[in-house]
Amino acid sequence: MSDCLFCKIIAGEIPSTKVYEDDTVYAFRDIAPMAPVHVLVVPKAHVASADGINESNSASVARIFEVIPKIAAAEGLTNGYRVITNCGEDACQSVKHLHFHILGGKKLPENMA
Ligand code: AMP
What are the 10-residue block averages of pLDDT along the chain, 113 residues in total? 94 98 98 98 98 98 98 98 98 98 97 87
CA 5 to chain centre: 13
- The CB of 38 under 6 Å from ligand 1? The reply is no
The SS3 assignment for 71 reads: helix
Q: What is the pTM for the complete model shown? A: 0.98
Q: What is the dihedral of CA 14, 64, 36, 97, to 10 degrees?
A: 40
Please give the distance, rounded to the nearest whole angstrom, from the Cα atom of residue 31 to the centre of ligand 1. 6
Please say if 99 is a catalytic residue.
Answer: yes
For position 6, what pLDDT does the model report?
98
* Residue 81 near residue 36, CB atoms below 8 Å: no
In the reported structure, the alpha carbon of residue 101 is separated from the centroid of ligand 1 by a whole-number distance in angstroms of 9
Q: Is 11 in the pocket of ligand 1 (CB under 6 A)?
A: no
